[in-house]
Amino acid sequence: MRNARRAVLISAIGAAIAAIASGGNAATSPPANVEKVSFRLNWVVAGNHAPFYLAQQKGYWTRCGLDVSMTPGTGSGATAQIVGNGSQQFGLTDAVSITAARAHGLPVKSIGVLYQTNPSAIVSKKSAGIVKLQDVAGKTWGAVPSGSPFLLLKALFKKDNITTVKEADVPAPGIAQLKTGQVDFITFFGNEAANVDPNPEKDLNIVWFKDYGQDIYGLALATSDDYLKSHPQQVACFRQGVIDGFKEARANPDEALQALFDGAPLTKNAPKVQAALLKGALEFVGTDLLAQTTAKWETTEQLLFDAGITPKKVDAGALFWQAK
């Protein structure tokens, strides 16, 4: 009898693992017990979030027991703090915010990196004449201190001894102030420049931080230490659902956009912009979805510490969880 029960248990575990790994649409037969969890985005809902809405619509989370509700964010830094203090179970934040939060004692960590390269950049109108980092000297920066691009540019200023930039505090993300000429440039994710102007290649200059030695991770999924420890299966389920959502979005971007429009109807007001944002996101997502290494997390940690952004060094191993 004991052996029979053991065989049944092993079979059930195997079926659960297969359900998580399966790419099929299991929305028609979800598990009996579905846990409600909250996923905070890094910013307002836009085209770059379409793969998450596709994952939700396809049932990639419900098939393994999660009912995921998405909420808009107000910046990666805020998302890292909210997830770290346990107010929400999952978040879309970035490597800089996770590292900074961890250095300040917040128990938050990455469960997978989406952007293998950080897309932070200086974004300006062509009329400002900013085509390289040194061109910002004497210019006015629409600064948003809560964002990781702000912290990374501060690190570049320190490295290159740029001291004559004028900072103007602006409401995040500063797009309106850039358009009206109140500031000369803002810091932004360059692959999301369509948020600034529908024709970024024509109207904007983008100076990428990665071209100045900042070879670090960008967007990442996060959870808290406590939630990971107490709910490892849910974390694995959430992570796999994201992987499958991005794979499907890459294969069928139009379907991903439709899922976004269905789930967040206001995004339908600017379909071309949303399509450009999705394209920009997929260009920064690596082929090995959610991969992360100790070495690259160490690079991020060292960069922030050397720039004086973090008050102490952080063990890179504590910054992320590697799926088995």
For residues 250 and 181, state if they share a domain. no
For residues 226 and 105, state if they share a domain. yes
CB atoms within 10 A of CB 251: 9
For residues 80 and 132, state if they share a domain. no
Give the model's pLDDT for residue 309: 87
Give the model's pLDDT for residue 15: 39
CA 162 to the chain's CA centroid: 29
Which CATH number covers residue 288? 3.40.190.10
For residues 106 and 230, state if they share a domain. yes
Give the model's pLDDT for residue 91: 98
Q: Which of 212, 231, 252 is the last residue of a domain?
A: 212
Number of domains in the chain: 2
- Is 269 inside any structural domain? yes
CB atoms within 10 A of CB 230: 10
**pTM of structure:** 0.88
CB atoms within 10 A of CB 245: 24
**Domain coverage including residue 65:** 31-117+217-318
Q: Splitting the chain (324 residues) into consecutive groups of 10 residues, what average pLDDT does each group show?
A: 38 39 45 90 96 98 97 94 97 96 96 96 96 97 87 93 94 90 95 90 94 94 98 97 98 98 96 96 93 95 91 95 86
For residues 110 and 232, state if they share a domain. yes
- Is 266 inside any structural domain? yes
Give the model's pLDDT for residue 145: 83
- Is 170 inside any structural domain? yes
Give the model's pLDDT for residue 147: 79
Give the model's pLDDT for residue 172: 82
Give the model's pLDDT for residue 23: 41
Q: Which residue has the tokens 């090995």?
A: 288
